């Protein structure tokens, strides 16, 4: 049984929809109040629609339905100053930060209309630098309040393998960023352990969210049969559900995992061992 999170505050980036919304609702079900952050705007190199203000408002509604408080903020994880401002303000309102789920990410596979160096740079900026910005903004709050806590970085099976690599900027950048997240997790586990703060990463296979289940990615994979096979799972399921990842996050941030830190946890239907 996963322990309750009553009295704790969870910061979640990319919270307007997909995995981020699922994490927010799942942790709210366990008793946590939520700081929900999302850019709610389009990034030019991303060929599918990103979340909207309306999506973020729906996340707030779903958290409130669980009987928890939710402070939502529109912010870009690439902007450290902006991120610090919204996190500081929300933490002051809700009473601190105990949990961080660095979830915001993009996967602009199939993008052919934007300079590929820009595609590569944007992925690193969101998926790696954005993770660094998030934790560097929240960790000082967590260490100052001196009540421990837990940080989960959402990586990917691409942070464990390079399967499906095709030499495109999108795949190169995504794989590099998700491997980089593991490096951050490991160094932060050392940094924050003396403060009673645990740091782990979760590595999902493909998840049924708009980031993966969109026309641009489907068309890209359809033209590369070998990639489709390489990205398949060992278990006979094409995509997992956001809740599958959220349940792993819920365990990692709970007291049930109180001595688990520095771990790479796959939620991948056997992808990594195939």
DSSP of the chain, one letter per residue?
-PPP-TT-EEEEESTTSHHHHHHHHHHHHTT-EEEEEE--S--TT-SS----HHHHHHHHHHHHHTT--EEEEE--TT-HHHHHHHHHHHHHHHT---EEEE------TT--SS-HHHHHHHHHIIIIIHHHHHHHHHHHHHHHHTS-EEEEEE--GGGT--TT--S-HHHHHHHHHHHHHHHHHHHHHHHHGGGTEEEEEEEE--BSSTTTSSHHHHHHHHT-HHHHHHT--SSS-S-B-HHHHHHHHHHHHSGGGTT--S-EEEESTTGGG-
Predicted confidence band at 3 (pLDDT cuts at 50, 70, 90)?
confident
Rounded mean pLDDT of 112-139? 95
What domain count does the chain have? 1
CATH code at 118? 3.40.50.720
CB atoms within 10 A of CB 123: 29
What are 15-32's pLDDT values in tens digits? 999 999 999 999 999 999
pLDDT at 1 over 60: no
Judge whether 271 lies within some domain: no
Judge whether 270 lies within some domain: no
Average pLDDT of the chain to the nearest whole number: 96
Judge whether 163 lies within some domain: yes
- Count of all residues that appear for the chain in the document: 274
What are 57-86's pLDDT values in tens digits? 999 999 999 999 999 999 999 999 999 999
pLDDT of residue 110: 82
Name the more confident of 274 and 201: 201
Least reliable range by pLDDT among 12-26, 53-67, 101-115, 118-132: 101-115
Judge whether 220 lies within some domain: yes
Domain extent at residue 64: 9-265
Judge whether 116 lies within some domain: yes
Residue found under tokens 């929240």: 138
Backbone Cα Rg of the chain: 17
In contact, 9 and 35? CB cutoff 8 Å:
yes
CA angle at 242 for the pair 226 and 99, rounded to the nearest 5° = 125
Least reliable range by pLDDT among 41-45, 122-126, 166-170: 166-170
Predicted confidence band at 9 (pLDDT cuts at 50, 70, 90)?
very high
Judge whether 3 lies within some domain: no
What are 218-246's pLDDT values in tens digits? 888 888 878 888 899 999 999 999 999 99
pLDDT of residue 82: 98
pLDDT of residue 11: 99
Judge whether 102 lies within some domain: yes
Judge whether 273 lies within some domain: no
Catalytic residue among 48, 174, 188, 271: 174
Question: How many Å apart are CA 43 and CA 122, to the nearest integer?
Answer: 8
pLDDT of residue 217: 85
Catalytic, 259? Answer: no
pLDDT at 264 over 90: yes
- With 0.95 as the threshold, say if the pTM is over it: yes
């Amino acid at each position: 049984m996963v322990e309750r999170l009553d009295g704790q505050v969870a910061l979640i980036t990319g919270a307007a929809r997909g995995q981020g919304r699922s994490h927010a609702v799942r942790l709210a079900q366990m008793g946590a109040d939520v700081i929900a952050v999302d850019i709610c705007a389009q990034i030019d190199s991303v060929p599918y629609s990103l979340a909207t203000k309306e999506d973020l408002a729906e996340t707030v509604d779903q958290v409130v339905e669980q009987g928890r408080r939710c402070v939502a903020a529109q912010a870009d994880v690439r902007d450290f100053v902006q991120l610090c401002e919204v996190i500081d303000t929300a933490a002051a309102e809700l009473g601190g930060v105990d949990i961080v789920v660095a979830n915001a990410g993009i996967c602009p596979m199939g993008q052919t209309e934007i300079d590929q160096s820009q595609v590569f740079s944007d992925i690193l900026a969101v998926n790696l630098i954005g993770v660094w910005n998030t934790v560097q903004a929240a960790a000082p709050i967590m260490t100052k309040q001196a009540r421990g806590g837990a940080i989960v970085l959402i990586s990917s099976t691409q942070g464990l393998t390079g399967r499906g690599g095709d030499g495109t900027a999108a795949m190169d950048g995504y794989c590099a960023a998700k491997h980089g997240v593991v490096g951050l997790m490991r160094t932060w586990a050392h940094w924050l352990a003396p403060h009673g703060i645990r740091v782990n990463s979760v590595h999902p296979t493909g998840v049924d969210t708009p980031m993966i289940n969109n026309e641009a990615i489907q068309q890209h994979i359809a033209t590369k049969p070998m990639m489709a096979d390489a990205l398949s799972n060992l278990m006979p399921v094409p995509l997992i559900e956001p809740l599958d990842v959220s349940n792993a996050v819920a365990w990692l941030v709970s007291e049930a995992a109180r001595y688990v830190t520095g771990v790479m946890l796959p939620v991948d239907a056997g992808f990594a061992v195939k």
